């Protein structure tokens, strides 16, 4: 079965990888001159599930994504800069304390995969001072989204500089729209309520204090352990912005957010690089995955959790395309479907 995939970011490349492993023949069409040209082009990303207080269908979706991803990351290893360093989610206020204590109980993960740690325990784990109690995911960490796109697409037919503007001209059995907000340009998806959220990530040189950081920190922002002397510090979240120009004030906003939670890290930082792009998201901030018509599918709106969400979505779509069923509960299929926005 030949499957046209429109878009060469995490959504498109992960799907191509899974389809190929399931015996199909995926073909990627990418508008830019390289893969991972959009939101997926960062050098460092955090793979953490989207943590909810109650465990519902969408928690199952992100939970499945986490464990599926560990197997894939293990396979790719150094080629994707995999650093399973663990992640501390800081409980910085009453709302987060309540929420993540509930997560701990309702998610019911094994103690090896999720536990609560005091500020003192977190400090020992992190190698720098942590001011709050944390939810600790020892097997979470960082990968390079850009590199994993290239690994996913290895051995797959890719057409770069090929902006698809209609599906009829493409050969193949089915097509999958995996092109972020550009899905709206296709009649079959035009009425799905998708929007963009700008984000800028900053790369900062390590300092005497930060060089000891051993885990990824999640606090509303994200601070990764240094790689080759440079930390990834992210990200701004700007729903009202649609341009991807690079801005000094966004680097400052990333630093100020870090200092607001870790006053002991305050100081002068050397910004070595930065990157801005548009996330695509939906009205309820969950992805839009599934079949749109007889021969057209969609995978978009991965929001801020695209590393895990793109992979679990790829497995769901591949099941549907190759075997004729999503392979997930009706609750999850309905929560992902574009039909949830009707009425
Ligand atoms: C600053 C920032 C930080 C982030 N940090 C994290 C993180 O730490 N962890 C995490 O899990 N997620 C993170 N995300 C979110 C994650 O990057 C996205 O969810 C993910 O990249 C979305 O992948 P995608 O393939 O849907 O979209 P994209 O990567 O935007 O890919 C869409 C592709 O489609 C192509 N395209 C568009 N139109 C056409 C057309 N007509 N024909 C052919 N190709 C077309 C585009 O050129 C693009 O390459 C972050 C995002 C940003 C912006």
Domain presence at residue 47: no
**Secondary structure letter of residue 34 according to DSSP:** S
Q: Assess whether 229 and 271 both reside in one domain.
A: yes
135 and 213 share one domain: yes
Q: Looking at 282, 309, 325, which one is the last position of a domain?
A: 282
Within 10 angstroms of residue 115's Cβ, the number of other Cβ atoms is 15
Strand partners, 202: 233, 274
pLDDT single digits (tens) 82-129:
999 999 999 999 999 999 999 999 999 999 999 999 999 999 999 999
271 in any annotated domain: yes
Structural domain includes residue 49: no
pLDDT per position as a tens digit, 256-302 = 999 999 999 999 999 999 999 999 999 999 999 999 999 999 999 99
- Total count of domains within the chain: 2
Mean confidence (pLDDT) of the chain = 97
Which atom belonging to ligand 1 lies closest to the Cα atom of 308?
11
Nearest ligand 1 atom, CA 182: 38
Residue 261 domain-assigned?
yes
Does residue 158 fall inside a structural domain? Answer: yes
Domain-located, residue 328: yes
Name 102's Cβ contacts closer than 8 Å, sequence gap at least 6: 53, 54
pLDDT value of position 241? 87
Nearest atom, ligand 1, residue 35 CA: 49
Give the gyration radius of the chain's Cα atoms. Answer: 20
Q: Note the pLDDT of residue 343.
A: 59
CATH number for 332: 3.50.50.60
The reply to whether 176 and 265 lie within a common domain is no
Rounded distance from Cα 209 to ligand 1 centre (Å):
33
Whether residues 86 and 158 share a domain: the answer is no
For residues 159 and 300, give the distance between their C-alpha atoms in angstroms, rounded to a whole number: 20
- Collapse the DSSP code of 123 into the 3-class scheme (helix H, G, I; strand E, B; otherwise coil) and give the result: helix
- Give the end of a domain, one of 233, 248, 282: 282
205 with 276, same domain: the answer is yes
Q: Are both 104 and 204 inside the same structural domain?
A: yes
Q: Are residues 295 and 275 in the same domain?
A: no
User: Which residue puts its alpha carbon closest to atom 27 of ligand 1?
Assistant: 180
User: Same domain, yes or no, for 203 and 260?
Assistant: yes
Same structural domain, 114 and 243: yes
Name the residue of 145, 152, 153 to mutate for ligand 1: max ligand atoms within 8 A of Cβ.
145
Atom of ligand 1 nearest to the CA of 303: 19
- In which residue ranges of the chain is pLDDT below 50? none
Q: Which atom of ligand 1 is nearest to the CA of 300?
A: 26
Residue 48: inside a domain, yes or no?
Answer: no
- Rounded-to-integer distance, Cα 10 and Cα 13, Å: 5
- H or E element that contains 234: strand 230-234
Using the 8-state DSSP alphabet, how is residue 238 labeled?
Answer: B
**Same domain for 264 and 201:** yes
Q: What is the CATH number of the domain that holds 79?
A: 3.30.9.10
Residue 52 lies in a domain: no
Pocket (CB within 6 angstroms of ligand 1): 6-12, 29-32, 37-40, 42, 45-47, 145, 163-164, 178-180, 182, 199, 201, 222, 234-235, 277, 279-280, 300, 302-308, 310
Q: Which tokens is 81 given?
A: 């800069």
Report the separation in Å between the CA atom of 280 and the middle of ligand 1, taken as the mean of its atom positions: 7
Domain hosting residue 165, numbered range: 2-42+146-193+284-341
Last residue of a domain, one of 266, 282, 298: 282
Q: What is the pTM of this model?
A: 0.98
Q: What is the pLDDT of residue 240?
A: 81
Residue of 6, 38, 282, 301 best suited for mutating to test ligand 1, as the one with most atoms within 8 Å of CB: 38
Cα 272 to Cα 244: distance, rounded to the nearest angstrom? 18
Residues 203 and 331 in one domain: no
Q: Are residues 175 and 312 in the same domain?
A: yes
Residue 103's region, left for phi above 0, alpha for psi from -120 to 50, else beta, is alpha
| ∠ CA 304-233-254, rounded to 5° | 90
């Amino acid at each position: 079965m030949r499957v046209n995939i429109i878009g060469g970011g995490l959504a498109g490349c992960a799907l191509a990888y899974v389809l190929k492993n399931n015996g199909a023949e995926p073909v990627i069409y990418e508008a830019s001159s390289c893969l991972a040209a959009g939101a997926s082009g960062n050098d460092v990303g955090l793979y953490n599930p989207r943590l909810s207080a109650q465990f519902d269908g969408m928690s199952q979706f992100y939970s499945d994504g986490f464990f599926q991803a560990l197997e894939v990351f293990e396979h790719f290893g150094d080629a994707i800069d995999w650093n399973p360093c663990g992640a501390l989610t800081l409980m910085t206020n009453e709302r987060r304390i309540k929420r993540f204590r509930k997560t701990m109980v309702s998610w019911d993960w094994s103690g090896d995969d999720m536990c609560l740690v005091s500020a003192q325990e977190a400090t020992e784990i992190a190698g720098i001072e942590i001011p709050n109690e944390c939810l600790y995911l020892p097997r979470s960490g960082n990968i390079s989204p850009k590199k994993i796109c290239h690994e996913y697409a290895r051995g797959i037919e890719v057409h770069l500089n090929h902006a698809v503007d209609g599906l009829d001209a493409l050969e193949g059995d089915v097509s999958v729209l995996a092109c972020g907000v550009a899905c709206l340009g296709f009649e079959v998806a035009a009425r799905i309520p998708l929007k963009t959220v700008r984000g800028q990530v900053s790369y900062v040189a390590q300092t005497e204090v930060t060089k000891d950081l051993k885990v990824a920190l999640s606090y509303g922002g994200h601070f990764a352990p240094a790689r080759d002397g440079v930390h990834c510090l992210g990200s701004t979240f700007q729903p009202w912005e649609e341009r991807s120009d690079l801005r000094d004030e966004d680097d400052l906003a990333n630093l100020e957010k870090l200092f607001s939670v870790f006053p002991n890290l305050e100081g002068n930082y050397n910004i070595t690089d930065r990157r801005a792009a548009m996330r695509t998201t939906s009205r309820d901030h969950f992805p839009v995955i599934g079949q749109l018509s007889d021969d057209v599918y969609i995978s978009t709106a991965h929001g801020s959790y695209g590393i895990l969400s793109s992979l679990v979505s790829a497995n769901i779509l591949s099941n549907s395309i190759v075997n004729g069923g999503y392979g997930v509960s009706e609750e999850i299929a309905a929560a992902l479907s574009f039909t949830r926005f009707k009425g």
